[in-house]
C-alpha cells in the first residue's frame, strides 16, 4: 500500500482533527477513483461493470461533472420567467389536467 502526505493550513488541520470520525483516506481514494473514471468516460463515453458498481455506491455518475449544455441553460432561463399557477387543492390541479 502507498502512503501519501498532503500539506494543510493550520486552521484547516484543526477542522480535520475535530472531524476525527471521518475516514479521510477513504475519501481521498474515492475522489482519485472518481477522477480516473471521469477521465476514462470522457475518452470512451462508457463505463465498465466495476465502474458502474462504484458509481452506484457513490450515487455519482461522470456525466454529473460535465458542464450544462447551452440549450439547457437557455430553456431553464425561459422557464424561470414563466408565471406559475397556484392551486387550492389537488382536485383542482387534477381537474385541469
Confidence of residue 40 (pLDDT cuts 50, 70, 90): very high
In a domain, 1, yes or no: no
Say if residues 28 and 4 touch (Cβ distance below 8 Å): yes
Question: 45 Cβ partners below 8 Å, 6+ apart?
Answer: none
Contact yes or no for 37/54 (Cβ under 8 A): yes
Q: What is the mean pLDDT of the chain?
A: 92
pLDDT at 5: 87
> Are 41 and 62 a contacting pair, CB within 8 Å?
yes
Counting the structural domains of the chain, the total is: 1
Domain contains 33: yes
With contact defined as beta carbons under 8 Å apart, do 47 and 64 qualify? no
The pLDDT assigned to 97 comes to 87
pLDDT band at 84 (very low <50, low <70, confident <90, very high): confident
Does residue 66 fall inside a structural domain?
yes
Residue with cell 481521498: 28
Mean pLDDT of the 8-25 span: 91
Write down the pLDDT at residue 65. 92
Amino acid at each position: 500500500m502507498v502512503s501519501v502526505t498532503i500539506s494543510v493550513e493550520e486552521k484547516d488541520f484543526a477542522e480535520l482533527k475535530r472531524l476525527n470520525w471521518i475516514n479521510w483516506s477513504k475519501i481521498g481514494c474515492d475522489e482519485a477513483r472518481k477522477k480516473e473514471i471521469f477521465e476514462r468516460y470522457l475518452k470512451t463515453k462508457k463505463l465498465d461493470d466495476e465502474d458502474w458498481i462504484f458509481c452506484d455506491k457513490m450515487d455519482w455518475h461522470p456525466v454529473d461533472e460535465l458542464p450544462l449544455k447551452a440549450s439547457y441553460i437557455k430553456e431553464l432561463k425561459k422557464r424561470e420567467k414563466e408565471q406559475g399557477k397556484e392551486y387550492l387543492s389537488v382536485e383542482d390541479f387534477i381537474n385541469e389536467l
